Structures are given as structure tokens and as C-alpha cells.
Structure 1
Amino acid sequence: MSKSVIQADKAPKAIAPYSHAIKAGNTVYLSGQVPLDPATMKLVEGGFEAQCVQVFENLKAVIEAAGGSFKDVVKLNAFLTDLANTPVLNQVMERYFDKPYPARAAIGIAALPLGSLVEIDGIVVL
């Protein structure tokens, strides 16, 4: 099985020792994205919805760098510092995905890197 590193020029630079994604065979494993603006490397302002949009834009950049699209996503893991924001996550997700939606987990956690409110990782099959 071949394994290759995916680095996306349009996504924020990695803030720790990890790759944007790893492609193994026809499967792409996406590292978690937080709502960093790739141009400024700062968290976007505007609250939870704005952060969700930026996370999906960052994921889109990585998925496209791997040669895929949101139609190829099979699994997402969403980490939220407040599960009360899940309805907003659902609304934003519907802007990026058509049915059938990928499998997904929404996980409540105490804190995320850089004070982010949301982080999402996933799996793509090309």
C-alpha cells in the first residue's frame, strides 16, 4: 500500500508536528482543522457559526489538495466545547454536504487548541 503526505497551500499551516492529511491507498485521513484563517493564522472572529464555516473551508482546501471533494467524505468527527452548538454545526454542515451525509460523531470536550470552539477531522475515500 502506498502512503503519501497531503499538504494544502490554501489551508492553515500545521501548528504542531502533523500533516494536513495522509493518503493510504485510496483513503485520505484528515487531521483536525480548527478555525484558523490561513492568511493570518489567527482564529476567525464572529462566534461559533463563523468558526464552523472556517473549519469547513479549511477541510475543503485539504480535501481538494488530495484530489477529492466533500462528496468523497465518508466520516467526520466534530469536537465542540459546547454541545449546545450542535444545531448550528448541523446547519453549517448542510451548506457543504448533500444527502447522503457522511457518518459523523459530535463530541463534547473541555478545550481545543488556541481556544477554538470547534475542531473537525475526517476520512475521505477517493
Structure 2
Amino acid sequence: MIEKDFINPNDLPKWEQSFSQVVMVDNGDSRTIYLSGQVSMDKDNQLIGANDLATQANQAFQNVKTALASAGAVPEDVVKINIYVKDYRFSDAECISEAFRKVFTQKKLPASTWLGVQSLALDGLLIEIDAIAIISI
């Protein structure tokens, strides 16, 4: 039987929807960690950086780091990341890349996909990030 753990860290937003922030799946001698989309909300569900993509990107990436830590992982363990940006324009890339590099400082970076989207789950959100990480057990 495959062992799964479902985690909702105290330092991340408390959503009323029915999902877990982090899911860990044991694969024998490794563990795969799936992060739900992280946004620019603090643990009290307050939006950080209204109308400011740079501030929202920084907060969302910090939430990714917090979610990883709850599963015993670090940014270096991430193998795939998806970045969803509301009404994405090429000019947005600079501030998103800057926020990314504050958390992902290693030379070997994860595979990534950037997607421009029409909207996100809540009004005011400009960016959402999900990720997959793998760690040794």
C-alpha cells in the first residue's frame, strides 16, 4: 500500500475549500511532494501586495518555501514548478524571475512552465505557483 500524508501548515492560508496544501507520497526510498497552488496570502488569509505583481510574487514564492519545509523539503528538492500569472505580459518576467531567484538560489533549477491566465481563484490575486519535489527517505 502506498503511504500518503496530507498537510496543511499553520503558516499558510486557511482555505475553506476541500484541498490540502501539501501531499506527500512515499515511493519506497523516496518521497514525492505535491504543493497546491501558492498565492500571495498570509496565514490570516490577507492578500499581500494588492495590484503589485512583484510583491505578490515574493509572497507566493515564500509560501512555496514554507510549504516545502512542512514536508521536510527545500527548494533544491523541487523538480517541476508551474507559475500562473493573471494577464501575463513579457514585461512581468523580470519581477517574477527576481522573486524566483530569492528562493531558488541553486545552479540546477527545476523544470518550469509559465502560463498566462485570464483569472485566478480569488479577485486580486496576480500569481499562483504549484510545484513537485522529491526527497530521499
Q: Which category describes the TM-score, using the shorter chain as reference length? A: over 0.9
- Worse-superposed segment, 43-52 or 25-34: 43-52
- Structure 2 residue 48 is the aligned partner of structure 1 residue 44: yes
Which is richer in helix? 1
User: 2:7 corresponds to which residue?
Assistant: 6
SS of equivalent to 1:93? helix
- Worse-superposed segment, 80-89 or 67-76: 80-89
Asked whether the equivalents of residues 4 and 23 of structure 1 are also in contact (C-alpha less than 8 Å), the reply is: yes
Number of residue-to-residue matches in the alignment? 125
Q: Report % sequence identity.
A: 31
Asked whether the equivalents of residues 48 and 117 of structure 1 are also in contact (C-alpha less than 8 Å), the reply is: yes
Unpaired segments of 5 or more residues in structure 1?
none
Alpha-carbon separation, structure 2, partners of 1:92 and 1:124: 19
| Paired residue type of 1:66 | A
Alpha-carbon separation, structure 1, partners of 2:122 and 2:88: 18
User: 2:95 corresponds to which residue?
Assistant: 88
Alpha-carbon separation, structure 1, partners of 2:39 and 2:16: 10
Note the 1:5-24 alignment, pairs <5 A: 5-24=6-25
Q: Deviations over 1:53-109 (max 9, x none)?
A: 110111111110101111111110000013221221111111111211111100011
User: 2:130 corresponds to which residue?
Assistant: 121
SS of equivalent to 2:62? helix
Asked whether the equivalents of residues 86 and 106 of structure 1 are also in contact (C-alpha less than 8 Å), the reply is: no
SS of equivalent to 2:122? helix
Alpha-carbon separation, structure 1, partners of 2:60 and 2:115: 16
TM-score (norm 2): 0.86
Q: Please report how far the alpha carbon of residue 15 of structure 1 lies from its aligned counterpart in structure 2 after TM superposition.
A: 4.1
Q: Please report how far the alpha carbon of residue 9 of structure 1 lies from its aligned counterpart in structure 2 after TM superposition.
A: 1.2
The structure whose Rg is larger is 2
Asked whether the equivalents of residues 40 and 49 of structure 2 are also in contact (C-alpha less than 8 Å), the reply is: no
